Amino acid sequence: MKNPVTATHTVSKVLFPMGQTLATPGALRIMTQFGFLPADLLSRHTRGDFGVVCPEDAQANAEAIIQGNRILSSYLVGSQRVWVITEADRSTTTILLPDEY
């Protein structure tokens, strides 16, 4: 990822449905270690705060909300990245580590 930025364009309402929410053991372990709640990351994700993503990924996410494509957020939890991915069909949203993808 080149030129990561922290997304700051959030809204107060949910922008898209999450479907079933899932989390991998690795992501849960990291979040627990650093005191992050899965619900907090999910809330940020669905309100348009995509975390630390490059401008192109932020734009792709904004378009995906309208067009129904996959949405990817990336958050720093401690020094580890944690991804939140909502599938294009909005059937599932998964919290995972990049190496678990």
DSSP annotation string for 48-93: T--BEE-HHHHHHHHHHHHHT--EEEEEEETTEEEEEEE-TTSSEE
Summarised one tens digit per residue, pLDDT across range 39-91 is 999 999 999 999 999 999 999 999 999 999 999 999 999 999 999 999 999 99
This prediction has a pTM of 0.89
Q: How far apart are CA 101 and CA 33, in angstroms?
A: 21
Query: What are the sequence ranges of the domains in the chain?
Result: 17-100
Q: Are 34 and 85 in contact (CB under 8 A)?
A: no
| pLDDT at site 78 | 96
Structure tokens at 92: 């599932």
